[in-house]
Amino acid sequence: MKTEKKDHMQRSLDHFNSIYRTLTPAEIARRCALPFLRKEAAFELCVMGKTYLAKFPDFELRDTEGRQVERGYENILFLRYLCEGRYTEATGRRLSYRELPWGEVYYRNFERRCVKRLANTFGNDLAKFRRIMETLRAEALDKGDAGYRFEFLKGLSMDILLWAGDDEFPPSAQILFNDNFVPAFTAEDIAVVGEVLIARLKEIDPI
């Protein structure tokens, strides 16, 4: 099963890489509002506060110290954004996943993969969650038992809200998206955004 999933990811990477090569840096930079560094032949991406270089015309994603991003689903997500996404200015409206185009259709999948995992991972240790978000220099919100706003990509921000569990109820969570996620990602891709979010939060080791 793991081999099949890996093969599927590789086919997706190959497919979007073939599209990526037909585009021009100027068109991608304009559409996604990203700087293209000619010397490095790469777009500069800031993911959850960390800078990466996305090479062109053969895509690969590395941090500024040269370490390559290995997770296939992350590479596909950001490659799809470069191929198909569009950056627009946000209006300030926050959307739940259900309010996204096709979000109602995919909500159960998003709830299982992202919302419940977020709640189960951090809902029983809000102090740790707060430390992690402070490491990200996220903006504290007066919502939930612990709520924060931060940028996933530059200009694309999310609200993460947690409620602690008790003897009667399990912990719960909510994820809200700035409305400019809509032209940037499909509903299916935004579910992957949630997976990237959780994986990266778990990797942070606050002091």
Spell out the per-residue pLDDT of the chain, length 207, in tens: 567 777 888 999 999 999 999 999 999 999 999 999 999 999 999 999 999 999 999 999 999 999 999 999 999 999 999 999 999 999 999 999 999 999 999 999 999 999 999 999 999 999 999 999 999 999 999 999 999 999 999 999 999 999 998 888 899 999 999 999 999 999 999 999 999 999 999 999 655
* Cβ burial 50-87 (10 Å sphere, 16+ → b, else e): eebbbebeebebeeeeeeeeeeeebbbbbbbbbbbbeb
Question: What's the CATH fold of domain 94-203?
Answer: TATA-Binding Protein (3.30.310)
What phi and psi, each to the nearest 5 degrees, are found at residue 77? -60, -50
0.85 exceeded by the pTM? Answer: yes
Cis ω for the linkage preceding 57 (within 30 of 0): yes
Going from N- to C-terminal start, the domains of the chain cover: 2-84, 94-203
Cα gap 118→189, rounded to integer Å: 17
In this structure, what is the dihedral angle of CA atoms 106, 108, 114, 119, given to the nearest 10 degrees? 150
